[in-house]
A = this chain, B = another copy of it.
Amino acid sequence: MSQVKQTKRTTIYDLAELAGTSASAVSAVLNGNWKKRRISSQLAEKIMRIAEEQGYALNMQASLLRREKSHIIGMIVPKYDNRYFGSIVETFEDMARARGLFPIITCTRRDPQLEVEAARTMLSYQVECLIATGATDPDRITEMCAAAGVRSLNLDLPGALAPSVISDNFAGARELTRRILRNSEQRLGKMEPLLFIGGRGSDHNTAERIRGFREAHADLGVAVHEENILACGYAPEKAEKALDERALVGQTLPRGMFVNSTISLEGVMRWIRRSGHLDDRSLVLGCFDWDPFVTLLGNGIEMVRQDVPGMLSKVFELIESGADKPVVIQVPPLIPEAQEA
């Protein structure tokens, strides 16, 4: 601060000169293995004091270039703007740091091109392991990592080539569907088939959730029509549009809905509001994902909360165990106590 505007940053050579010693001694002292290298504690203290005074900061690039392990762990994630991914990212950072790893995270907006570029960049930064969260093409990423001799793992959406940690979408969706159907029976007096809305029919999670959705209906002896399954994509506008179109088909819309993410729920709520059903207590909703304000929305929306800490614990277990066979680990989601309708 009081120093002159320096263009060059302080290096161990500068410190060595100031301390009247060698760069190698400085290095040993500053990275903590000076005892192993038999540096006297007097010199160690002197060097540490000078480093402190000079505001020395390690040049990580130089250090990493020389070392065999980078201790960097990468994650790509589709979006930051919902509680599920926000929580994944925050928990991931925390757990990584707790293990002495440096997390780098990048958001790829569900864009396959960006995913590949991000993965390549992370490989350039010498990540030791790359977690592909909700990737559109996880196997592509696994291949890139494998070619560079780097481990990879899938989170949220499974891949065929690397270990995957995902929610138990089938069981979660089945239980959620059951609850919506039960609420629906209570409030409407009869059990009607629900509408499934949101997600991509082509992604594993959506497919599994639809399977759970069907099975819950079947268990309770309710038939599901094909036209009640709207895997229209995740974006709010897509859900909104899909409901408009489905409403145009003529028959009345189901009163009960299984919404496949909070993102889609935004669109559904906008539609509900626009169509004047906001205070309609006969609408019975459930959502596969959790958000604190949705709880308070008042329609007694059932929610499934994916077990983010549980999933990330599994991720780090896999990393630490060194496993890289393409297993799929399913973590049961948490289903909070039913909301009062």
A120 vs B56: C-alpha distance in the bound complex, in angstroms? 9
CB contact list, A71-97 vs B, under 8 A = 79-83, 86-87, 89-90, 93
Per-residue CB contact flags for chain A residues 143-159 toward chain B (1 = under 8 Å, else 0) read 11011110000000000
Q: From B64, B144, B293, give the contact of A293 (CB < 8 A).
A: B293
A57 vs B146: C-alpha distance in the bound complex, in angstroms? 12
Q: From B86, B102, B104, B121, give the contact of A80 (CB < 8 A).
A: B86
| A5 sits at the interface (CB 8 A) | yes
Q: From B106, B123, B143, B296, give the contact of A269 (CB < 8 A).
A: B296
By the criterion CB–CB under 8 Å, are B298 and A59 in contact? Answer: no
| A58 sits at the interface (CB 8 A) | yes
Query: Smallest CB–CB gap between A155 and chain B, Å?
Result: 16
Number of copies: 2
The size class of the interface chain A forms with chain B is 35 or more
By the criterion CB–CB under 8 Å, are A89 and B64 in contact? Answer: no
| A60 sits at the interface (CB 8 A) | yes
CB contact list, A48-67 vs B, under 8 A = 55, 57-65
Q: Which of A126, A266, A296 has the most CB of B within 10 A?
A: A296
Closest chain B residue to A293, Cβ basis: B293
Assuming A1-B146, A55-B144, A298-B298, is B65 touching A90 (CB within 8 A)? no
Query: Smallest CB–CB gap between A329 and chain B, Å?
Result: 24
By the criterion CB–CB under 8 Å, are B106 and A103 in contact? Answer: yes
Query: Smallest CB–CB gap between A268 and chain B, Å?
Result: 10
| A107 sits at the interface (CB 8 A) | yes
By the criterion CB–CB under 8 Å, are B79 and A90 in contact? Answer: yes
| Cβ–Cβ < 8 Å partners of A89 in chain B | 80, 107
Assuming A7-B149, A60-B125, is B65 touching A93 (CB within 8 A)? no
By the criterion CB–CB under 8 Å, are A59 and B279 in contact? Answer: no
| A321 sits at the interface (CB 8 A) | no
| A251 sits at the interface (CB 8 A) | no
By the criterion CB–CB under 8 Å, are B296 and A273 in contact? Answer: yes
9 extra A-B contacts, CB within 8 A, seeds A93-B107, A105-B105: A3-B147, A60-B124, A63-B124, A79-B90, A86-B86, A90-B107, A103-B106, A266-B293, A298-B298
A interface vs B, CB < 8 Å?
1, 3, 5-10, 55, 57-65, 70, 79-83, 86-87, 89-90, 93, 102-107, 120-121, 123-126, 143-144, 146-149, 236, 262, 265-266, 269-270, 273, 278-279, 291-294, 296-298
What are some 24 contacts across the A-B interface (CB < 8 A)?
A: A1-B143, A1-B146, A5-B149, A7-B149, A8-B149, A9-B149, A57-B120, A57-B124, A57-B148, A59-B65, A59-B124, A59-B126, A61-B64, A61-B70, A79-B90, A80-B80, A80-B89, A80-B90, A93-B106, A93-B107, A270-B296, A278-B296, A293-B294, A298-B298
